Amino acid sequence: MKKLILSALALTTLFACGGGSTNDATSANDSTATSLSGSIQIDGSSTVFPISEAVAEEFRAVQPDVKVPTGQSGTGGGFKKFIRSEIDICDASRPIKKGEAHECDSLNIKYVELEVAKDGLAIVVSKENTWLKDITVAELKMLWESAAQGKITKWNQVRKTWPNEPIKLFGAGTASGTFDYFTEAINGKQGDCRGDYTASEDDNVLVQGVSTDKNALAFFGLAYYEASKDKLNLVAVDNGAGAILPTTETVMNGTYAPLARPLFIYVNGNAAKRAEVVTFTNFYLDKASALAQEVGYIALTPEKITEQKTKFEAFLKELK
Protein backbone atom coordinates (compact mmCIF):
# COMPACT_ATOMS: atom_id res chain seq x y z
CA MET A 1 0.00 0.00 0.00
CA LYS A 2 2.84 2.41 0.89
CA LYS A 3 4.45 1.79 -2.52
CA LEU A 4 1.12 2.39 -4.25
CA ILE A 5 0.61 5.73 -2.46
CA LEU A 6 4.14 6.84 -3.32
CA SER A 7 3.62 5.89 -6.96
CA ALA A 8 0.38 7.87 -7.08
CA LEU A 9 2.07 10.90 -5.53
CA ALA A 10 4.90 10.67 -8.04
CA LEU A 11 2.41 10.49 -10.92
CA THR A 12 0.48 13.47 -9.57
CA THR A 13 3.69 15.47 -9.29
CA LEU A 14 4.67 14.52 -12.85
CA PHE A 15 1.40 15.85 -14.26
CA ALA A 16 1.56 18.98 -12.09
CA CYS A 17 4.98 19.78 -13.56
CA GLY A 18 3.78 19.24 -17.13
CA GLY A 19 5.14 15.70 -17.42
CA GLY A 20 8.44 17.08 -18.72
CA SER A 21 6.94 17.74 -22.16
CA THR A 22 8.28 21.30 -22.38
CA ASN A 23 8.76 21.02 -26.14
CA ASP A 24 5.10 20.42 -26.98
CA ALA A 25 4.30 23.63 -28.87
CA THR A 26 0.62 22.82 -29.11
CA SER A 27 0.12 23.23 -25.35
CA ALA A 28 2.19 26.38 -25.06
CA ASN A 29 -0.47 29.06 -25.24
CA ASP A 30 -0.51 29.76 -21.50
CA SER A 31 2.79 31.30 -20.41
CA THR A 32 2.38 30.04 -16.85
CA ALA A 33 0.86 26.59 -17.47
CA THR A 34 4.16 24.80 -18.07
CA SER A 35 7.66 25.44 -16.80
CA LEU A 36 9.84 25.99 -19.87
CA SER A 37 13.53 26.32 -20.57
CA GLY A 38 15.73 27.23 -23.50
CA SER A 39 16.77 30.40 -25.28
CA ILE A 40 14.98 32.71 -27.73
CA GLN A 41 17.24 34.88 -29.87
CA ILE A 42 15.81 38.26 -30.94
CA ASP A 43 17.50 40.97 -32.97
CA GLY A 44 16.69 43.66 -35.52
CA SER A 45 15.03 47.06 -35.43
CA SER A 46 16.22 49.56 -32.84
CA THR A 47 12.72 51.04 -33.07
CA VAL A 48 10.97 47.80 -32.08
CA PHE A 49 13.72 46.93 -29.57
CA PRO A 50 12.13 48.78 -26.58
CA ILE A 51 8.90 46.79 -27.00
CA SER A 52 10.68 43.44 -27.35
CA GLU A 53 12.97 44.22 -24.43
CA ALA A 54 9.97 45.09 -22.22
CA VAL A 55 8.12 41.92 -23.27
CA ALA A 56 11.24 39.81 -22.63
CA GLU A 57 11.62 41.30 -19.16
CA GLU A 58 8.02 40.49 -18.22
CA PHE A 59 8.30 37.02 -19.75
CA ARG A 60 11.31 36.23 -17.57
CA ALA A 61 9.11 36.87 -14.53
CA VAL A 62 6.80 33.98 -15.49
CA GLN A 63 9.36 31.78 -17.27
CA PRO A 64 12.69 32.45 -15.50
CA ASP A 65 14.44 29.48 -17.13
CA VAL A 66 13.95 30.84 -20.65
CA LYS A 67 16.71 33.22 -21.77
CA VAL A 68 15.58 35.96 -24.17
CA PRO A 69 18.61 38.00 -25.29
CA THR A 70 17.47 40.96 -27.39
CA GLY A 71 19.72 42.90 -29.79
CA GLN A 72 19.26 45.94 -31.99
CA SER A 73 21.39 45.68 -35.13
CA GLY A 74 18.78 47.42 -37.30
CA THR A 75 16.01 45.88 -39.39
CA GLY A 76 18.35 45.07 -42.27
CA GLY A 77 20.95 43.59 -39.93
CA GLY A 78 18.25 41.59 -38.18
CA PHE A 79 16.94 40.12 -41.42
CA LYS A 80 20.48 39.07 -42.40
CA LYS A 81 20.72 37.11 -39.14
CA PHE A 82 17.18 35.80 -39.63
CA ILE A 83 18.06 34.47 -43.09
CA ARG A 84 21.17 32.78 -41.65
CA SER A 85 18.92 31.24 -38.95
CA GLU A 86 20.99 32.91 -36.24
CA ILE A 87 17.91 34.37 -34.56
CA ASP A 88 14.39 33.11 -33.87
CA ILE A 89 12.55 36.42 -34.06
CA CYS A 90 13.39 39.51 -36.10
CA ASP A 91 12.18 42.92 -34.95
CA ALA A 92 11.30 45.03 -38.02
CA SER A 93 10.23 48.62 -38.54
CA ARG A 94 9.35 47.88 -42.17
CA PRO A 95 7.95 44.89 -44.09
CA ILE A 96 10.42 42.32 -45.34
CA LYS A 97 11.91 43.27 -48.72
CA LYS A 98 11.34 41.14 -51.84
CA GLY A 99 15.01 40.20 -51.95
CA GLU A 100 14.99 39.13 -48.30
CA ALA A 101 11.79 37.13 -48.81
CA HIS A 102 13.33 35.45 -51.86
CA GLU A 103 16.39 34.43 -49.83
CA CYS A 104 14.10 32.93 -47.18
CA ASP A 105 12.20 31.01 -49.87
CA SER A 106 15.41 29.71 -51.46
CA LEU A 107 16.55 28.40 -48.06
CA ASN A 108 13.09 27.00 -47.25
CA ILE A 109 12.75 29.34 -44.27
CA LYS A 110 9.11 29.75 -43.36
CA TYR A 111 8.09 32.77 -41.30
CA VAL A 112 5.11 34.78 -40.15
CA GLU A 113 4.83 38.57 -40.02
CA LEU A 114 2.99 39.88 -36.94
CA GLU A 115 2.18 43.55 -36.41
CA VAL A 116 2.74 44.60 -32.79
CA ALA A 117 2.33 48.41 -32.71
CA LYS A 118 2.28 51.61 -34.73
CA ASP A 119 4.77 54.45 -34.76
CA GLY A 120 5.30 57.85 -36.29
CA LEU A 121 8.67 59.10 -37.47
CA ALA A 122 9.45 62.35 -35.70
CA ILE A 123 11.21 65.30 -37.34
CA VAL A 124 13.02 67.15 -34.57
CA VAL A 125 15.29 70.13 -33.94
CA SER A 126 17.10 71.53 -30.91
CA LYS A 127 15.31 73.51 -28.23
CA GLU A 128 17.51 76.43 -29.33
CA ASN A 129 15.95 76.35 -32.79
CA THR A 130 13.05 78.83 -32.67
CA TRP A 131 12.42 79.22 -36.42
CA LEU A 132 11.79 75.71 -37.77
CA LYS A 133 8.22 74.99 -36.67
CA ASP A 134 6.97 73.10 -39.71
CA ILE A 135 8.31 71.61 -42.93
CA THR A 136 6.70 70.32 -46.11
CA VAL A 137 7.30 66.87 -47.60
CA ALA A 138 8.83 68.61 -50.64
CA GLU A 139 11.25 70.52 -48.39
CA LEU A 140 12.20 67.30 -46.60
CA LYS A 141 12.97 65.74 -49.98
CA MET A 142 15.02 68.80 -50.94
CA LEU A 143 17.04 68.27 -47.75
CA TRP A 144 17.47 64.50 -47.85
CA GLU A 145 17.52 63.23 -51.45
CA SER A 146 20.85 62.07 -52.88
CA ALA A 147 20.90 64.99 -55.33
CA ALA A 148 21.10 67.40 -52.37
CA GLN A 149 24.56 66.25 -51.33
CA GLY A 150 27.08 69.06 -51.72
CA LYS A 151 24.40 71.40 -53.10
CA ILE A 152 21.83 72.07 -50.37
CA THR A 153 24.07 73.22 -47.54
CA LYS A 154 22.34 76.30 -46.05
CA TRP A 155 18.87 76.53 -44.52
CA ASN A 156 17.81 79.52 -46.64
CA GLN A 157 18.24 77.34 -49.74
CA VAL A 158 15.32 75.26 -48.53
CA ARG A 159 13.06 78.13 -47.45
CA LYS A 160 14.06 81.75 -48.05
CA THR A 161 12.84 82.92 -44.66
CA TRP A 162 15.11 80.47 -42.87
CA PRO A 163 18.60 81.67 -41.80
CA ASN A 164 21.76 81.60 -43.84
CA GLU A 165 23.24 78.94 -41.57
CA PRO A 166 24.86 75.55 -42.30
CA ILE A 167 22.58 72.51 -42.36
CA LYS A 168 23.48 69.66 -39.99
CA LEU A 169 21.53 66.44 -40.48
CA PHE A 170 21.21 63.34 -38.28
CA GLY A 171 19.35 60.16 -39.12
CA ALA A 172 19.14 56.40 -39.03
CA GLY A 173 21.90 54.27 -40.53
CA THR A 174 21.45 52.45 -43.82
CA ALA A 175 20.84 49.07 -42.09
CA SER A 176 17.85 50.50 -40.28
CA GLY A 177 14.23 49.93 -41.23
CA THR A 178 13.67 53.54 -40.19
CA PHE A 179 16.12 54.63 -42.92
CA ASP A 180 14.35 52.45 -45.51
CA TYR A 181 10.92 53.72 -44.54
CA PHE A 182 11.92 57.39 -44.39
CA THR A 183 13.79 57.43 -47.70
CA GLU A 184 10.96 55.72 -49.56
CA ALA A 185 8.23 57.88 -47.96
CA ILE A 186 10.07 61.18 -48.49
CA ASN A 187 12.40 60.66 -51.46
CA GLY A 188 10.22 58.24 -53.40
CA LYS A 189 12.81 55.45 -53.50
CA GLN A 190 14.08 53.24 -50.72
CA GLY A 191 17.73 54.01 -49.98
CA ASP A 192 17.85 57.23 -52.02
CA CYS A 193 19.56 59.58 -49.57
CA ARG A 194 22.41 62.04 -49.36
CA GLY A 195 25.46 60.55 -47.69
CA ASP A 196 26.80 63.63 -45.90
CA TYR A 197 24.77 63.28 -42.71
CA THR A 198 25.55 61.79 -39.32
CA ALA A 199 24.12 58.28 -39.31
CA SER A 200 23.65 55.92 -36.38
CA GLU A 201 21.68 52.80 -35.49
CA ASP A 202 21.58 54.13 -31.92
CA ASP A 203 18.80 56.69 -31.64
CA ASN A 204 20.32 58.05 -28.41
CA VAL A 205 23.34 59.18 -30.46
CA LEU A 206 20.98 61.05 -32.80
CA VAL A 207 19.17 62.69 -29.89
CA GLN A 208 22.48 63.85 -28.44
CA GLY A 209 23.67 65.21 -31.78
CA VAL A 210 20.60 67.21 -32.75
CA SER A 211 19.90 68.52 -29.24
CA THR A 212 23.29 70.25 -29.00
CA ASP A 213 23.24 72.03 -32.38
CA LYS A 214 20.70 74.78 -33.15
CA ASN A 215 21.20 74.26 -36.90
CA ALA A 216 20.57 70.52 -36.81
CA LEU A 217 17.57 68.42 -37.84
CA ALA A 218 17.01 64.71 -37.30
CA PHE A 219 14.49 61.96 -37.94
CA PHE A 220 13.82 58.93 -35.74
CA GLY A 221 10.98 57.07 -34.04
CA LEU A 222 8.44 59.12 -32.11
CA ALA A 223 9.18 57.15 -28.94
CA TYR A 224 12.69 58.56 -28.80
CA TYR A 225 11.32 62.10 -29.06
CA GLU A 226 8.89 61.37 -26.21
CA ALA A 227 11.80 60.17 -24.07
CA SER A 228 13.83 63.31 -24.84
CA LYS A 229 11.21 66.03 -25.32
CA ASP A 230 12.94 68.21 -22.72
CA LYS A 231 15.86 68.55 -25.18
CA LEU A 232 14.03 68.74 -28.51
CA ASN A 233 11.31 70.55 -30.46
CA LEU A 234 8.96 68.56 -32.65
CA VAL A 235 8.49 69.78 -36.23
CA ALA A 236 5.06 69.53 -37.90
CA VAL A 237 4.99 67.90 -41.37
CA ASP A 238 2.85 69.27 -44.19
CA ASN A 239 1.97 66.82 -46.96
CA GLY A 240 -0.27 69.35 -48.69
CA ALA A 241 -3.18 69.13 -46.28
CA GLY A 242 -1.68 71.37 -43.61
CA ALA A 243 1.10 70.96 -41.04
CA ILE A 244 0.46 68.00 -38.71
CA LEU A 245 2.33 66.95 -35.57
CA PRO A 246 2.68 63.22 -34.84
CA THR A 247 0.38 62.13 -32.00
CA THR A 248 -1.44 58.94 -31.10
CA GLU A 249 -4.52 60.24 -32.90
CA THR A 250 -2.79 61.50 -36.07
CA VAL A 251 -0.72 58.34 -36.47
CA MET A 252 -3.71 56.04 -35.96
CA ASN A 253 -6.03 57.96 -38.28
CA GLY A 254 -3.39 58.38 -40.97
CA THR A 255 -3.41 62.20 -41.09
CA TYR A 256 0.27 62.26 -40.12
CA ALA A 257 1.25 61.18 -43.58
CA PRO A 258 3.50 59.87 -44.95
CA LEU A 259 5.51 59.25 -41.76
CA ALA A 260 3.20 56.89 -39.83
CA ARG A 261 4.11 53.20 -39.99
CA PRO A 262 3.40 49.73 -38.57
CA LEU A 263 5.97 47.83 -36.47
CA PHE A 264 6.47 44.06 -36.76
CA ILE A 265 8.07 40.93 -35.43
CA TYR A 266 8.90 38.04 -37.79
CA VAL A 267 8.91 34.54 -36.28
CA ASN A 268 10.99 31.76 -37.86
CA GLY A 269 8.97 28.61 -38.68
CA ASN A 270 11.55 26.18 -37.33
CA ALA A 271 11.77 28.18 -34.11
CA ALA A 272 7.97 28.15 -33.86
CA LYS A 273 8.11 24.36 -33.43
CA ARG A 274 9.60 24.95 -29.97
CA ALA A 275 7.24 25.44 -27.04
CA GLU A 276 9.16 28.34 -25.53
CA VAL A 277 8.97 30.32 -28.81
CA VAL A 278 5.24 29.69 -29.25
CA THR A 279 4.57 30.63 -25.64
CA PHE A 280 6.70 33.76 -25.89
CA THR A 281 5.04 34.88 -29.14
CA ASN A 282 1.56 34.49 -27.67
CA PHE A 283 2.75 36.32 -24.56
CA TYR A 284 4.16 39.08 -26.79
CA LEU A 285 0.80 39.56 -28.54
CA ASP A 286 -1.02 39.58 -25.19
CA LYS A 287 1.31 42.24 -23.77
CA ALA A 288 2.13 44.26 -26.91
CA SER A 289 -0.54 46.93 -26.56
CA ALA A 290 0.14 47.80 -22.92
CA LEU A 291 3.92 47.68 -23.26
CA ALA A 292 3.96 49.56 -26.57
CA GLN A 293 2.21 52.47 -24.86
CA GLU A 294 4.52 52.18 -21.87
CA VAL A 295 7.62 52.66 -24.02
CA GLY A 296 6.09 55.44 -26.12
CA TYR A 297 4.51 53.72 -29.12
CA ILE A 298 0.91 53.51 -30.28
CA ALA A 299 -1.04 50.43 -29.31
CA LEU A 300 -3.02 48.38 -31.80
CA THR A 301 -6.75 48.04 -31.31
CA PRO A 302 -8.02 44.86 -29.58
CA GLU A 303 -9.47 43.78 -32.93
CA LYS A 304 -6.09 44.14 -34.62
CA ILE A 305 -4.36 42.15 -31.88
CA THR A 306 -6.97 39.37 -32.24
CA GLU A 307 -6.26 39.36 -35.97
CA GLN A 308 -2.53 38.84 -35.30
CA LYS A 309 -3.26 35.99 -32.84
CA THR A 310 -5.46 34.27 -35.42
CA LYS A 311 -2.73 34.72 -38.02
CA PHE A 312 -0.15 33.11 -35.72
CA GLU A 313 -2.45 30.18 -34.90
CA ALA A 314 -3.00 29.57 -38.62
CA PHE A 315 0.77 29.66 -39.20
CA LEU A 316 1.35 27.04 -36.50
CA LYS A 317 -1.23 24.75 -38.10
CA GLU A 318 0.52 25.10 -41.46
CA LEU A 319 3.79 23.93 -39.87
CA LYS A 320 2.32 20.59 -38.76
Together in a domain, 123 and 246: yes
- The confidence score (pLDDT) of residue 31 equals 56
Whether the CA torsion 170, 243, 92, 31 is positive or negative: it is: positive
In a domain, 283, yes or no: yes
Q: How far apart are the first and last CA of the chain?
A: 44
In a domain, 144, yes or no: yes
Answer with the one of 220, 246, 261 that is the final residue of a domain. 261
**Cα distance between residue 185 and residue 93, in whole Å:** 13
In a domain, 24, yes or no: no
- The confidence score (pLDDT) of residue 30 equals 60
Q: What is the dihedral of CA 101, 26, 50, 244, to 10 degrees?
A: 70
Together in a domain, 160 and 274: no
Using alpha carbons only, give the angle 227, 229, 235 rounded to the nearest 5 degrees: 120
User: What is the residue range of 60's domain?
Assistant: 35-118+262-319
AA identity, residue 304: K
Together in a domain, 146 and 89: no
**pTM to 2 decimal places:** 0.75
Answer with the one of 214, 246, 261 that is the final residue of a domain. 261
Give Cβ neighbours of residue 160 (< 8 Å, ≥ 6 apart). Answer: none
Together in a domain, 215 and 133: yes
- The confidence score (pLDDT) of residue 13 equals 38
Give me the residues paired with residue 118 across strands: 262, 298
Q: Report which of 291, 281, 265 is spatially closest to residue 316, judged by C-alpha positions.
A: 281
Together in a domain, 108 and 62: yes
Structural domain count of the chain: 2
Together in a domain, 247 and 201: yes
**Cα distance between residue 229 and residue 215, in whole Å:** 17
10-residue mean pLDDT profile of the chain (320 residues): values are 38 37 46 83 94 97 97 93 98 95 98 95 96 97 97 98 98 89 93 95 91 96 87 96 92 91 96 98 97 89 96 96
Together in a domain, 42 and 88: yes
In a domain, 62, yes or no: yes
In a domain, 8, yes or no: no
Whether 31 and 59 have beta carbons less than 8 Å apart is answered as yes
Give the chain's length.
320
In a domain, 53, yes or no: yes
Together in a domain, 124 and 253: yes
Together in a domain, 114 and 244: no
3 state SS of 266:
strand
Answer with the one of 236, 261, 286 that is the final residue of a domain. 261
Together in a domain, 96 and 108: yes
- The confidence score (pLDDT) of residue 6 equals 38
- The confidence score (pLDDT) of residue 46 equals 87
- The confidence score (pLDDT) of residue 47 equals 86
Together in a domain, 167 and 233: yes
In a domain, 167, yes or no: yes
Which CATH number goes with the domain that contains 183? 3.40.190.10
In a domain, 26, yes or no: no
Together in a domain, 185 and 257: yes
